[in-house]
Chain A
Amino acid sequence: MTGRMFAVGGFEPQARWQAAAFLAPGSSSFADFLAVAAPDLLPRAAHPAGAGSAGPGGVPAAAPGGPADIAHGTTIAAAVCADGVVMAGDRRATAGNVISQRDIEKVFRGDEFSCVGIAGVAGIGVDLVRLFGVELEHYEKLEGRSLSLEGKANRLAGLVKSNLGAAMQGLVAVPLLAGYDVDTDQGRIFSFDVAGGKYEEQRFASIGSGSVFARGALKKLYRDGMSLDDVVLALMEALYDAADDDSATGGPDMSRRIYPIVATVTADGYNRLTDEAAGRYAETVVTERMRLPDGPPAPLHPAAS
Chain B
Amino acid sequence: MSMPFYVSPEQVMKDKADYARKRISQIRSGVVMTCEAGILLVAPNPSRALRKFSEMYDRIAFAAVGRYNEFETLRKAGVRYADMTGFTYDRRDVTARGLADWYGQLLGSLFTDSPKPYEVEIVVAEVGKTTADDEIYRITFEGSVADEHGFVVVGGQADRVADVLKEQYSPSMTLIEAMRLAIASLAGQGDGNSEPITSGQLEVALLERSRPHRAFRRLTGARLDTLLAEARPAAAGATAAANGSSGGPAAGADADGGGAAPETPTGGSANGDSAAGGSPDGGSPDDGSSGGGSAADGGDGSGA
Contact between chains at A30 and B109 (CB < 8 Å): no
CB of A23 within 8 A of chain B?
Answer: yes
Return A140 CB to nearest CB of chain B, in Å: 8
Contact between chains at A23 and B55 (CB < 8 Å): no
Contact between chains at B79 and A8 (CB < 8 Å): no
Residues of A within 8 A of B85 (CB): 14
CB of B263 within 8 A of chain A?
Answer: no
Q: CB within 8 A of A6: which of B54, B76, B109?
A: B109
CB of B19 within 8 A of chain A?
Answer: no
Number of A-B contacts (CB under 8 A): 60
Contact between chains at B77 and A22 (CB < 8 Å): yes
Residues of A within 8 A of B106 (CB): 8, 19, 22-23
CB of B217 within 8 A of chain A?
Answer: no
CB of B271 within 8 A of chain A?
Answer: no
**Can you list, as one digit per residue, whether each of A195-224 has a CB less than 8 Å from chain B (1) or not (0)?**
000000000000000000000000000000
CB of A301 within 8 A of chain B?
Answer: no
Contact between chains at A141 and B84 (CB < 8 Å): no
- Residues 70 to 105 of chain B near chain A (Cβ within 8 Å): 73-74, 76-77, 79-81, 83-88, 102, 105
Contact between chains at B56 and A141 (CB < 8 Å): yes
Return B139 CB to nearest CB of chain A, in Å: 13
How many residues of B are counted as interface, with CB atoms below 8 angstroms from the partner's CB atoms? 22
CB-based nearest B residue for A109: B213
**With contacts A13-B88, A23-B73, A34-B84 known, is A138 near B105, CB below 8 A?**
no
CB of B21 within 8 A of chain A?
Answer: no
How many residues of A are counted as interface, with CB atoms below 8 angstroms from the partner's CB atoms? 25
Select the stretch in A98-106, A129-137, A165-173 that faces chain B: A129-137
Contact between chains at B83 and A22 (CB < 8 Å): no
Contact between chains at B102 and A142 (CB < 8 Å): no
Contact between chains at B105 and A41 (CB < 8 Å): no
Q: Which one of B74, B80, B85, B102 has the highest number of Cβ atoms from chain A below 10 Å of its Cβ?
A: B80
Residues of A within 8 A of B113 (CB): 4, 6
Contact between chains at A37 and B83 (CB < 8 Å): no
Contact between chains at A33 and B88 (CB < 8 Å): no
CB-based nearest A residue for B104: A8
Return A126 CB to nearest CB of chain B, in Å: 13
CB of B51 within 8 A of chain A?
Answer: yes
Contact between chains at B87 and A41 (CB < 8 Å): yes
Q: CB within 8 A of B79: which of A13, A130, A138?
A: A138
Contact between chains at A30 and B77 (CB < 8 Å): no
CB-based nearest B residue for A135: B83
Contact between chains at B51 and A30 (CB < 8 Å): no
User: How far is it, in angstroms, between the C-alpha of A142 and the C-alpha of B72 when the chains are bound?
Assistant: 9
CB of A48 within 8 A of chain B?
Answer: no
Instruction: Name A's B-contacting residues (CB within 8 A).
Output: 4, 6, 8-9, 13-14, 17, 19, 22-23, 25, 30, 33-34, 37-38, 41, 130-131, 134, 137-138, 141-142, 144
